[in-house]
Homo-oligomer: A and B are copies of this chain.
């Protein structure tokens, strides 16, 4: 029996497997909103200044600061400058009412907020002899300079950036209507086992419904993968091989579930005999037995067959590797929480339990360690990590949790 590999070592192996693939898939151009959650394919440089022009940070008066000596001065009120207008140059000795975001007129170099003016309101439209008393004001006051957020030509976002609302908002502000993003990785997902039946069909004695396919496809979709489902393979390795041969060349990654353990009917192990796939014990519970390698050159991961093991395998190995190698998804937020109850954990294994983290920072374990407890999983909101060297923890002990 081989010495189990540490979680960190297997994480590195999975990242290495994805890194040494065919490189990033080619890019595709998408309208901004279709690119939500996708990854920028190229370094993106600002095609214009942001802000595009100097503009007012306040509702107030645009002035030439040299018209306002110490003690201030009374200035003639010029025509107002609304946002969106191309204003006339400011005449010396005058002050132009200006709205937040409106362009600073030529000849103006500062804004005095309306609250600092006397009177502290704008004269009615049409009055052409209004005057306003304004205090001394330093040049640049309340002006957002052109390019002060980002200047034209600067790197706006590097290739590999995940595009969320803020990033897409920046692209829109830069005037871009489309963006080049990496194509999603294509993954072939295949559940194995004689006992497994598609949901919605009748369930014969001794059979169970396939939850792995749904659980993993949902996880993979959330992580931005394009999933090709090849259905359920029974325990005949020749049939499994036939499915893999048919689809391997069309995908960037193959993921199977089940058939990787040490029992008598381990279909994935049998099918991979002679291929560059190894089956390694990882010092983790659940999700200990793992297959990893290549099938005709295509990266291959063999997850164990229980649903919780599948989810834990995905969260511990594939999801972080996708994030680090391909820029998406973002890592799970890592929190520290206090255990609501004591626990024990097997020596030498990194245990991953399911739990419910409440708003007060306390995490309650949901269900036992059993990897078949899919209802317990469904009522959890976090994974709870117990490091390999820890065998028991008291109530109130601090643990690392990952929010699902």
Q: Is the CB of A172 within 8 A of B311?
A: no
Asked if A205 is at the interface (CB within 8 A of a chain B CB), the reply is yes
Asked if A261 is at the interface (CB within 8 A of a chain B CB), the reply is yes
Asked if A374 is at the interface (CB within 8 A of a chain B CB), the reply is yes
- Which of these, B101, B102, B168, B218, contacts A169 with CB under 8 Å? B218
- B residues in contact with A144, CB < 8 Å: 370, 372
Asked if A59 is at the interface (CB within 8 A of a chain B CB), the reply is yes
Q: Is the CB of B57 within 8 A of A168?
A: no
Q: A194-B82, A206-B102 are in contact. Are A199 and B211 (CB under 8 A)?
A: no
Asked if A174 is at the interface (CB within 8 A of a chain B CB), the reply is yes
Q: Is the CB of A166 within 8 A of B377?
A: yes
Bits for A257-281, please: 1 = Cβ < 8 Å to B, else 0.
0000111110000000000000000
Q: Is the CB of B101 within 8 A of A50?
A: no
Q: Is the CB of B177 within 8 A of A200?
A: yes
Q: Is the CB of A215 within 8 A of B36?
A: no
What is the CA–CA distance of A197 and B379 in the complex, to the nearest angstrom? 46
- Which of these, B102, B175, B207, contacts A199 with CB under 8 Å? B175
- B residues in contact with A212, CB < 8 Å: 169
Q: A100-B263, A370-B57 are in contact. Are A209 and B172 (CB under 8 A)?
A: yes
Nearest neighbor of A378 in chain B, beta-carbon distance = B170
Bits for A207-240, please: 1 = Cβ < 8 Å to B, else 0.
1111111111111011000000000000100000
Asked if A33 is at the interface (CB within 8 A of a chain B CB), the reply is yes
What is the CA–CA distance of A276 and B367 in the complex, to the nearest angstrom? 50
Nearest neighbor of A167 in chain B, beta-carbon distance = B378
Give min CB distance, A166 to chain B, whole Å. Answer: 5
Q: Is the CB of A375 within 8 A of B307?
A: no
- B residues in contact with A213, CB < 8 Å: 172
- B residues in contact with A156, CB < 8 Å: 375, 378
Asked if A390 is at the interface (CB within 8 A of a chain B CB), the reply is no
- Which of these, B59, B166, B207, B377, contacts A84 with CB under 8 Å? B207
Give min CB distance, A266 to chain B, whole Å. Answer: 9
Give min CB distance, A141 to chain B, whole Å. Answer: 14
- B residues in contact with A264, CB < 8 Å: 59, 80, 82, 97, 99, 122
What is the CA–CA distance of A404 and B167 in the complex, to the nearest angstrom? 11
Q: Is the CB of A211 within 8 A of B374?
A: no
Asked if A343 is at the interface (CB within 8 A of a chain B CB), the reply is no
Asked if A305 is at the interface (CB within 8 A of a chain B CB), the reply is yes
- B residues in contact with A194, CB < 8 Å: 82-85
Give min CB distance, A345 to chain B, whole Å. Answer: 17
What is the CA–CA distance of A311 and B164 in the complex, to the nearest angstrom? 12
What is the CA–CA distance of A51 and B205 in the complex, to the nearest angstrom? 12
- B residues in contact with A33, CB < 8 Å: 214, 217-218, 221
- B residues in contact with A265, CB < 8 Å: 82-83, 99
Q: List 6 A-B contacts (CB under 8 A).
A: A33-B214, A101-B305, A156-B378, A170-B375, A173-B307, A175-B199
8 cross-chain pairs, A with B, having the tightest CB-CB distances, nearest first: A84-B195, A177-B200, A169-B215, A84-B194, A170-B378, A173-B211, A165-B218, A172-B214
Chain A interface residues toward B at CB < 8 A: 32-33, 36-37, 46, 48, 50-53, 57, 59, 80, 82-87, 97, 99-103, 122, 144, 149-150, 156-157, 164-178, 193-201, 203-219, 221-222, 235, 261-265, 305-307, 311, 330, 333, 335, 367, 370, 372-381, 403-404
What would 5 more interface pairs be, CB under 8 Å, given A172-B210, A333-B335? A149-B374, A157-B379, A170-B377, A170-B378, A174-B199
